[in-house]
């Protein structure tokens, strides 16, 4: 649900910025890049080169790791709080951008 909110805020912000349906591929591409540059498909230890570096700083990596611990291993607070913090951060930033776009549209 959390990444759905992130994707929705991203989509709304872009839609209000470009005001055309031509921005739809950009919405999808942005989320695709966000997820593909995480540890969603391979553990951090197996990533090499630039992908390993990007995955370390990508906030979605923390969200993926938080979700993964429920399926693989045990759920711990130390594995959960970075994901919650990253999720809240993404939602706050993207929701603020979307709300700013709504305010500009209303003016």
At 1 the pLDDT is 82
- Cα separation, 37 vs 107, in Å, equals 37
Domain ranges for the chain: 2-106
59: which residues sit within 8 A by CB, 6+ positions away?
86, 89, 90
Counting Cα atoms < 13 Å in the Cβ hemisphere of 23 gives 12
* Per-residue three-class SS string for 74-104: CCCHHHHHHHHHHHHHHHHHHHHHHHHHHHH
Q: What is the mean pLDDT of residues 36-65?
A: 94
pLDDT greater than 80 at residue 107:
no
* Sign, CA torsion 42/46/49/55: positive
At 73 the pLDDT is 79
- Cα separation, 54 vs 85, in Å, equals 18
- Cα separation, 53 vs 30, in Å, equals 18
pTM value is 0.87
């Amino acid at each position: 649900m959390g990444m759905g909110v992130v994707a929705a805020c991203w989509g709304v912000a872009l839609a209000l910025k470009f005001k055309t349906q031509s921005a739809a591929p950009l919405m999808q591409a942005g989320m695709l890049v966000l997820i593909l540059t995480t540890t969603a498909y391979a553990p951090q230890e197996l990533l090499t080169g630039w992908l390993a570096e990007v995955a370390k700083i990508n906030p979605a990596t923390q969200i993926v790791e938080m979700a993964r611990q429920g399926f693989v291993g045990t759920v711990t607070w130390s594995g959960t709080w970075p994901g919650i913090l990253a999720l809240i951060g993404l939602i706050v930033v993207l929701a603020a951008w979307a709300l700013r776009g709504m305010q500009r549209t209303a003016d």
